[in-house]
A and B are shown apart, each in its own frame.
Chain A
Amino acid sequence: MPMLPPVSKRHTGWRLFLMTVIGRSYPRVVGMQRERSWIFFDTFLPMLSVAAYVFVYRAIKAPEDYVGFVVVGGAMMAYWMNVLWSMASQLYWEKETGNLALYIISPGSMMAILLGMALGGLFATTLRAVGIILLGSLLFQVHFVIASATQLILVFFLTMVSLYGLGMMTASLFLLLSREAWHISNLAQEPIFLISGFYFPIKNFPAWVPMVGSFIPLTLGMDAMRQLAFASGPSLGWISVNIEIMGLIVLSIMFLMGARLLLNYMERLAVREGRLTESRG
C-alpha cells in the first residue's frame, strides 16, 4: 500500500492565484494573534507623538479639528510604517531566509505572493490603526463630522490600493538593492512624515511641496479624508476631494502596473545574474 496517495486535484489559474494570496497573507494575520505585544508598541507608543502634537496645537489655540487631523495622521502612519518596513524590504528578508526561492519555484505567481503580503499587512495594520483612532478619539475627544461616508470609504480604499501598490513595487526594487534598501527605508521615513502632512494640513506648504508629496498616496488620501471627516476639513484642504480621488486612481493603476513590470524585470535579472538566492555549494 503506498504511504501517500497522489494529489487528487491541483488548482490552477485564478483559483491558484487566490489560494496563493490567502496562503501568503496567513502568517501576517495569524502573527497578530500570536505576538500581542503590538497592542502596546503599535498603539500606545504612537499615541505619545500624537499627544505631543495635540498639546502643542492646544497650547497655541489652533482650531480644534487640528487634533482630529493629528489622530488621523497617527493612524495612517501605521500604514506607512507597514509599507516601508514590512512590504518594501520584505522580499529581501524572504531571500535571506530561503523563502523567496521556494516562492519562485512554486506554481503560484509572485504577484499573488506580493498581494498576499500586502493584504495580510493591510489587515494587521488596520487593527492597529483602528486602535489608534479609537484611543486618540477617546483621549482627546475628537469630533468627527462625516460629509460623505461613501466618498470617505472610497478614498480610504483607493489610498490603500495605491499605497500597497507602491509597497509591492518597491519590494522588487529593494530586492535588487539588497542591503542598501535598508538605508533607503530610513531615508524615506522622516521626510515623508513632513511632506505628506501626517500631523498638519498640507495646505500650509507652498504648492510645490504637496505636489511632490502627491507621489506618496497618503498625501492625497489624508487630505481628502480630513476634508470628508471634519467640519473645518474643506476649508483646510489642499485641492478638491474629487481631484484627489482621480489622483489616487491614477496612482493605483501606476503603482500596480509598475509592481508587475518591476517584478518581472527583477525576476529576469535575478535569474540571469544569480541574485535570487545566496551562492552556495
Chain B
Amino acid sequence: MENHYAIETQSLGRVYKIRNPGKKENKTLTALEGVDLQIKPGELFGLLGPNGAGKTTLIKILTTLLAPTHGYASVAGYDVSKSPDDVRQRINMVSGGESSGYGLLTVRENLWMFAQFYGIESKEANQRIKTLLEIVGIADRANSRSSNLSTGLRQKMNIVRGFLTDPEILFLDEPTLGLDVGASRDVRSFIRRWMDDDPKRTLLLTTHYMIEADELCDRVAIINKGKVLACGTPASLKQSLQKDAIFHIDLDSPKVLVESVFSILPGVTSVKIHDNENKTIMDLVLDEESALANVIATVTSQGAQIVTLQKREPTLEDVFVKLVGQRMEEVEHADAPAS
C-alpha cells in the first residue's frame, strides 16, 4: 500500500469517560487533542513531554491497543482503526519498566516465545536472539530465568524482544525508564545503531528525558496536556531560542527569592529559581542581553550575591519552559491528570 508517511495522524484525539458513581453523567478526561504528525520512513522521531502528557495514549492508539475518539491515524499506510491486523504485522513495541514474559522461563525462552507469535522459525529466532543478546551485552544471562534479572538487565531483554522481530516501525515508550546511566547509554547506543543499519526503519520514541530526545532523535514533538506544542529537529527547536539570551546564575541568598519579582522585569521571558544543596540557582531567558542589568540590580536589592554567571546555549529544556511556562519536573510534580 502506497503511503508517503510511516506514521500519520490528523486531528487525532482521545477522550476517556470516567465513571462517576452516584452521578447521572460521567466525567471526561481529554488525554489527546488535535494531534497532527507526519513521520517519514527512516525517521527516529521523539515525543518529548512530562508524565501525563499523552505520549503513552498516542502510542497505544498507533499500536492498535486503543481506539481514537476523534481524527485519524495511519501506520505503515494502514488505518489503525480499520486495518489493525495489517498494522500489527509491521510493528512492535517496548515499554519502559514492563514486566512481560514469564519469570519461570529463561531469557532465551521468553524471547523465543515472542518470536513464535511473529511467525519466525525457531532456528532463525534462536540465531537472532544469540546475536542480539551479545550486542546488548547480556549473552551470559541467556539461560538465566528472567525472574532473576535486575531491572536494567530485564529492560535489555525487553529491548531485544522489540528488535528481534525486525519491525518496519518500532514504538519505544520510555525505553530507559528506571535504568542507571550506563544501561541507558547502552540502550541509546543500540537504538542508534539499529536505525543506522537500515534507512527504511522507522522508530517512534517517547521520553521525558531531554538528553535522550536531543541525542537520539531526528525530529522531536513537544507534547503537553495532550497537545503537540512544537515539532522540528532538536537543532531547529533550539534555534527558535537563539535570539534569546539564556543565563545560568548561581546565587548565595540569605532569603528565598521569588520568581514573580523577576518575571515582571522588562525583557525577562522566563525565570526559574530553585535551590540545589546550599546554592540558589536561577535560570533566565531574556529577550536581549541588556535586560540582564535589571536582573542583577534586583538580585542585589534582595540581599543576594552572584557566585557565578554563565551564558549558555539553549537546550530542549529551555524550549519546553518557553512553550509551557514551567520546567518539565514542575509539570510532573503538579497534579497532572493521568492519560
Which A residues are closer than 8 A to B by beta carbons? 2-4, 6-12, 15-16, 19-20, 22-24, 26-27, 30-31, 34-35, 97-99, 101-108, 113, 271-274, 276-277, 279-281
Beta-carbon nearest neighbor of A267 in chain B: B84
Complex contact A102–B93 (CB within 8 A)? yes
Complex contact B99–A23 (CB within 8 A)? no
Partner of A10, one of B118, B193, B198: B118
Given known A7-B166, A97-B100, contact A277–B65 (CB-CB < 8 A): yes
Closest 8 A/B residue pairs (Cβ)? A23-B116, A281-B56, A11-B119, A108-B117, A106-B117, A16-B119, A27-B102, A10-B119
Docked Cα-Cα span, A105 to B100, in Å, equals 13
Measured between beta carbons, the chain B residues less than 8 angstroms from A103 are 117
Complex contact A108–B116 (CB within 8 A)? yes
* B113 interfacial contact with A, CB 8 Å: yes
Docked Cα-Cα span, A101 to B174, in Å, equals 16
Complex contact A280–B56 (CB within 8 A)? yes
Measured between beta carbons, the chain A residues less than 8 angstroms from B92 are 105
Most buried by A among B66, B116, B131: B116
Beta-carbon nearest neighbor of B122 in chain A: A19
A10 smallest CB distance to B (angstroms): 4
Which B residues are closer than 8 A to A by beta carbons? 14, 16-17, 31, 51-57, 60, 63-67, 85, 88-89, 91-93, 95, 98-102, 104-105, 109, 112-121, 124, 128, 131-132, 135, 145, 161, 163, 165-166, 173-174, 193-194, 197-198, 206, 338-339
Measured between beta carbons, the chain B residues less than 8 angstroms from A276 are 60, 65-66
Complex contact B119–A19 (CB within 8 A)? yes
Beta-carbon nearest neighbor of A9 in chain B: B121
Measured between beta carbons, the chain A residues less than 8 angstroms from B102 are 27, 31
Docked Cα-Cα span, A35 to B66, in Å, equals 37
Measured between beta carbons, the chain A residues less than 8 angstroms from B119 are 10-12, 15-16, 19, 107-108
Given known A3-B193, A27-B102, A272-B67, contact A106–B114 (CB-CB < 8 A): yes
Complex contact A20–B197 (CB within 8 A)? no
B176 smallest CB distance to A (angstroms): 14
Complex contact B66–A274 (CB within 8 A)? yes
Measured between beta carbons, the chain A residues less than 8 angstroms from B88 are 104-107
Most buried by A among B65, B67, B95, B193: B65
Measured between beta carbons, the chain B residues less than 8 angstroms from A271 are 64-67
Complex contact B100–A99 (CB within 8 A)? yes
Complex contact B60–A274 (CB within 8 A)? yes
Complex contact A281–B101 (CB within 8 A)? no
Measured between beta carbons, the chain A residues less than 8 angstroms from B104 are 27, 30-31, 34-35
Measured between beta carbons, the chain A residues less than 8 angstroms from B112 are 23, 26
Measured between beta carbons, the chain B residues less than 8 angstroms from A27 are 102, 104-105, 109, 113
Beta-carbon nearest neighbor of A4 in chain B: B131
Measured between beta carbons, the chain A residues less than 8 angstroms from B116 are 19-20, 22-24, 108
Docked Cα-Cα span, A24 to B101, in Å, equals 10
Measured between beta carbons, the chain B residues less than 8 angstroms from A23 are 112-117
Beta-carbon nearest neighbor of B80 in chain A: A271
Complex contact A98–B66 (CB within 8 A)? no
Complex contact B338–A279 (CB within 8 A)? yes
A62 smallest CB distance to B (angstroms): 42
Measured between beta carbons, the chain B residues less than 8 angstroms from A10 are 89, 118-120
Beta-carbon nearest neighbor of A276 in chain B: B65
Given known A3-B131, A101-B65, contact A9–B124 (CB-CB < 8 A): yes
Complex contact B65–A2 (CB within 8 A)? no
Measured between beta carbons, the chain A residues less than 8 angstroms from B161 are 102
Measured between beta carbons, the chain B residues less than 8 angstroms from A12 are 89, 119
Beta-carbon nearest neighbor of B125 in chain A: A7
Beta-carbon nearest neighbor of A35 in chain B: B104
Complex contact A2–B198 (CB within 8 A)? yes
Complex contact A3–B135 (CB within 8 A)? yes
A-B contact pairs, 26 of them (CB 8 A): A3-B131, A4-B135, A4-B194, A10-B89, A11-B121, A12-B89, A19-B116, A22-B116, A23-B117, A26-B105, A27-B105, A30-B109, A34-B104, A98-B98, A98-B100, A101-B63, A105-B63, A105-B64, A105-B65, A105-B93, A106-B114, A107-B89, A271-B64, A273-B17, A279-B56, A281-B339
